[in-house]
Chain A
Amino acid sequence: MPLENFHPSAALSMGVELELQLVGEHDRDLASAAADLLELAGRRSFPGDIKPEMTDSMIEVATGIHERYPLLRAQLHAIRDALLEDAARLNVSLCGGGTHPFQQWHERRIFSAPRFQQLSGLYGYLAKQFTVFGQHVHIGMPDADSALRVLHALGRYLPHFIALSASSPFSQGSDTLFDSSRLNSVFAFPLSGRAPFVLDWARFEREYFVRMEDTGIVRSMKDFYWDIRPKPEFGTIELRVCDTPLTVDRAAQIAVYLQALCSLILAGEDPAPQEDDYLVYTYNRFQACRFGLEGLIVHPRGHAALPLRDDILGTLQRVLPHAERLGSHEALTALHDMVKRDGNDACRLRGVHARTGSLLAVVDAAVADFSR
């Protein structure tokens, strides 16, 4: 199957996908409720898209295409409210967070659908370990070459999104010491990582995609689990490194930060990407996963070490004019306050654990946050 044509979309339009946790009311462990929730959602006109995920304690929801922050946020709220209403009828709770703190991966059940069963056959236990919950953000691109340029320019900012959304400090009953332990589950997949450094769509297709296709390893872009990947059928680039935040408001804020950053890059206000930028990519990504906002990254140009928190605060300032034009400055102010004062969701969850000594209380807090 040849690479699909890149269908240009309205530049800087955006869509958000959230993978959510379904947890039991009585023990706060993951609950097998995806099929039941889908059945109930199917009975109403659901205010968004809803579909199953790899294991049956996960659900994925998606917004439509939006250009402005208030509408995106409003739809996320509507989706959240509909889900909570249906879940209450089924005695199930919903929450965000990149991992469930104490679920045991071997108890997960692969969702009963051919695609997931096939993936489970291929990936073995990796499939069940993939019961992690991420936020994906799509940003519309005017053409294919711009998509590749923005994609590679964003590589330098990837740690921002990891640190801002990080909400998976606990995994399998322990504190991992990572702010985002979820991404360690993603890195285990053979086709994870980053896109090859090609800035021209025709060359990308000819010199990379077709050759990979010839190897028989991939059939479509869906088979690549890259941190950022082009989505030709939507005409978007898709950022995939974020943990699902604890609140839908945070999810919307992160999406519009990406929108503003893409606007800045498309306007030519950021240096053009170079292949050598990737020398520090994996290290910086690790710093963001491990230490969150406390991470110490290396600037790809000049190689100066700089605190991730300062880099984010500086970038928020730089994109502010774009955010004002796009109507999302209020959201960036909230992110600014979080970075400067409150800390990310991983910080919040660790705080609950330190106070109570209980991972059940951590899930309780996540459930409460999701309805806020």
Chain B
Amino acid sequence: MIFEAGRMFALVGWPAVLLAAWLAGEIAHRGLGVPRVCAYSLAGIVYGSWGGMPDEPEAQAAFTFLANFSLGLFLFELGHRINLRWLVTNPWIAITGIVESLLTFFVVRGVALALGQPDDIAMVIGALSVATSPAALVRVVNDMRGSGQVTERALHLCAINCLLSVLLMKVAIGYWQLLASGSATVAVWNSLVIVAVSVGCGILVGLPLPRLLRLFRADETGVTIVFALAVMLVTLLTQGVNVSPLLAALTLGVLIRRRHHMLTPAQRNFGVLGDLLTVFLFVYVAGMAQWPSTASGLALAVLLSAGRIAAKMSATALFAHVSGTSTRKGALSGLALAPLSTFALLLLEYSRHAGFGLADGALAAIAGMMIVMEFIGPVCTQWALRLAGESRRKDMH
């Protein structure tokens, strides 16, 4: 009975926490000019440290699904903004993305090694640091109604670095499995086939959608609902066959953009549904992170974060002129890539379920960086857009 009451409290506590997080977000945004998602994360960290996170396997599975679905919506939206043709007409964007990702990987891995982390853990940390959180980036861009080169570049570079982060993680896992099992076949399966199957799932669900929407001449709400259900479908499908739901959602977004002559746009951020799930996603993911237990943990966090941002900004500034913008705007697009965590944490969580033994060690090592970037990341994006003069909401509040 006592167990039941505790469980009840944990479940009922969630809507209350989400409401508190939402209120805090509004205060942060209107009163302090800080991105809403920072406040959501704060609420999550507080709730997580009170032990509010679900600890039963069934509840965990449900929350993981909901988090994957929420992040899937963001990845879909990110994919929807990716113009593959741009990457062909201006190949320097793709080159910037690849160099930026690899430089981040090596710099962060180097810092981690220098600070005494074991080689395999350092490799995982490096791979995870490559990704920019699409949730935080897309949310801040949408909140500010960002428009301009820094916005465009940050979104495209984010898609590239997420993809490369998944690949690098697979390589890290493959490397680990190779060491653990000695089977190269298993390593290859994890490194490449999973990526291919994820992309395949996105394509499978995405192909019939444009025809369906054209047939029904769906309105804005209709399009939003159909897209949201499609994301839910790929999330379930990919979770079912143990591949990456995030990559599948990204593929879905890119595909829909290419094939759907957007007769009606979907609501930005998936409307109210997206707003609600954003609160959940940030609270949940932040709740999973843990404060670093020692001062050296905090130092590691700060150094890793600084190395990561410096690597991203250097690469984007280096290729700015040749890719058609000023060095200043190039550097700012690197700064806008600062948000971390949601993508990385879910990636890690997924890897843990897939039996990746290093996940816990890596999580403990980068918990501090997660916390630091949870707050600093979205603020960096906000400042990057503001300094580039790309916010269309400047005079609204």
Interface residues of A (CB under 8 A from B): 24-33, 35-36, 39-40, 56, 86, 88-91, 107-109, 112, 356-358, 360-361, 364
Contact call B257/A26, Cβ cutoff below 8 A: yes
Neighbouring B residues of A31 by C-beta, 8 Å: 147-148
- Chain A contacts for B389, CB-based, 8 A: 32, 35, 56, 109, 112
Distance in Å: Cβ of A230 to nearest Cβ of chain B: 36
Q: Is the CB of A88 within 8 A of B89?
A: yes
Q: How large is the interface on B (under 10, 10 to 19, 20 to 34, 35 or more residues)?
A: 20 to 34
CA distance A89 to B83 in the complex (A): 12
Within 8 Å CB of B259, what residues of A? none
Interface residues of B in 134-192 (CB under 8 A from A): 145, 147-149, 152, 156
The minimal Cβ–Cβ distance linking A351 to chain B, given in whole angstroms, is: 16
B264 touches A360 (CB 8 A): yes
Which residue from chain B places its CB closest to the CB of A26 in the assembled complex? B81
Q: Are B152 and A109 interface neighbours, CB within 8 A? A: no
Q: Can you name the residue of chain A whose Cβ is closest to the Cβ of B324?
A: A89
> Contact at B390–A39, with CB atoms within 8 Å?
no
Chain A residue at minimum C-beta to C-beta distance from B266? A27
Task: Chain B residues near A90: list those with CB within 8 A.
Answer: 90, 149, 152, 324-325
A40, A89, A112, A360: the one contacting B262 at CB < 8 Å is A360
Contacts of B394 in A (CB 8 A): 109
Q: How far is the CB of B150 from chain A (nearest CB, A)?
A: 9
Flag if A36 contacts B392 (CB, 8 Å): no
Closest beta carbon of chain B to A109's beta carbon, Å: 6
Contacts of B386 in A (CB 8 A): none
Closest Cβ–Cβ distance, residue A354 to chain B (whole Å): 13
Asked whether B86 is an interface residue with its Cβ less than 8 Å from the other chain, the reply is yes
Are A89's CB and B261's CB within 8 A?
no
B118 at the interface (CB under 8 A from A): no
Asked if B13 CB lies within 8 Å of chain A CBs, one says no
Contacts of B262 in A (CB 8 A): 27-28, 358, 360
A107-B265 CB under 8 A given contacts A39-B325, A89-B89:
no
Q: Which of B52-80 contact A (CB under 8 A)?
A: 80
CB of A32 within 8 A of CB of B148, answer: yes
Taking a contact as CB atoms under 8 Å apart, the answer to whether B392 and A107 are in contact is yes
Q: Provide the residues of chain A in CB contact with B326, threshold 8 Å.
A: 39
Q: Are A91 and B152 in touch, CB under 8 angstroms?
A: yes
Asked if B217 is at the interface (CB within 8 A of a chain A CB), the reply is yes
8 contacts between A and B (CB under 8 A): A27-B265, A32-B389, A33-B149, A35-B389, A39-B325, A90-B325, A361-B261, A364-B261
- B390 CB contacts on chain A under 8 angstroms: 32
A112 to chain B, nearest CB (A): 6
- Complexed CA–CA distance, A246 and B341 (Å): 46
- The reply to whether B149 and A36 form a contact with Cβ atoms under 8 Å apart is yes
Q: Are A357 and B263 in contact (CB under 8 A)?
A: yes
Question: Is B265 a contact partner of A360 (Cβ separation < 8 A)?
Answer: yes
In the assembled complex, which residues on chain B have CB atoms less than 8 Å from the CB atom of A89?
89-90, 323-324
